[in-house]
Amino acid sequence: MDLITSLLWHHDKFLGITWNTWKVVGFIGNAVFFSRFFVQWYATEKRKQVVVPQAFWWLSLTGSLILLAYGLFYLHDSVFILAYAFTWIPYIRSLVIHRRHKAAHTICTGCGIKIPPQSNYCPNCGVKVG
Ligand SMILES: [Zn+2]
């Protein structure tokens, strides 16, 4: 074996990790959960204000459920299981609020754009709403 291969593979471990299907599931859960920070950061930088996009909540929900499965079916660790057992509640609640907020938008009679709820005037053309 060459030097690089022997550094990567050592005592039947790749990168010092004993791999199995649940290890892969756990790392995927971590990657999905961690990726939400980049999504939120990107949205915030793009808008130049703190924004929590809907994708953040979907990634939070998906990542935490994968990690909960990892904890329940592989790790069997009560601390880990408890850390992810109830996090889905605020994630789903935030998704419901996002959906309701989107549905509450109205269409401007002046220019046809979607107007945020509780707006008195169209931010695009200035037509009075409601
Ligand atoms: Zn308008």
The 10s digit of each residue's pLDDT in 73-105 is 999 999 999 999 999 999 999 999 999 999 999
Q: Poorest-confidence range of 1-10, 20-29, 74-83, 113-122?
A: 1-10
How many angstroms is it from 108 CA to the middle of ligand 1? 5
Residue 56 pLDDT greater than 90, yes or no: yes
How many CA atoms, within 13 angstroms, populate the side-chain half-sphere of residue 100?
Answer: 6
Residue 130 CA to residue 128 CA, distance in Å, equals 7
| Polymer length of the chain | 130
Q: Poorest-confidence range of 9-23, 78-92, 110-124?
A: 9-23
9 or 85, which is more confident? 85
How many angstroms is it from 101 CA to the middle of ligand 1? 19
Computed over every residue of the chain, the mean pLDDT equals 94
Residue 6 pLDDT greater than 90, yes or no: no
- Give mean pLDDT, residues 38-52: 96
Q: Regarding beta strands 9-10 and 106-107, do their DSSP bridges make them parallel or antiparallel, or are they unpaired?
A: unpaired
How many angstroms is it from 126 CA to the middle of ligand 1? 6
How many angstroms is it from 114 CA to the middle of ligand 1? 8
Residue 99 CA to residue 30 CA, distance in Å, equals 26
Helix residue ranges, H only, the chain: 3-8, 21-47, 54-70, 78-85, 88-103
Provide the pLDDT for residue 1: 61
The pTM for the full model equals: 0.82
How many angstroms is it from 48 CA to the middle of ligand 1? 24
How many angstroms is it from 127 CA to the middle of ligand 1? 6
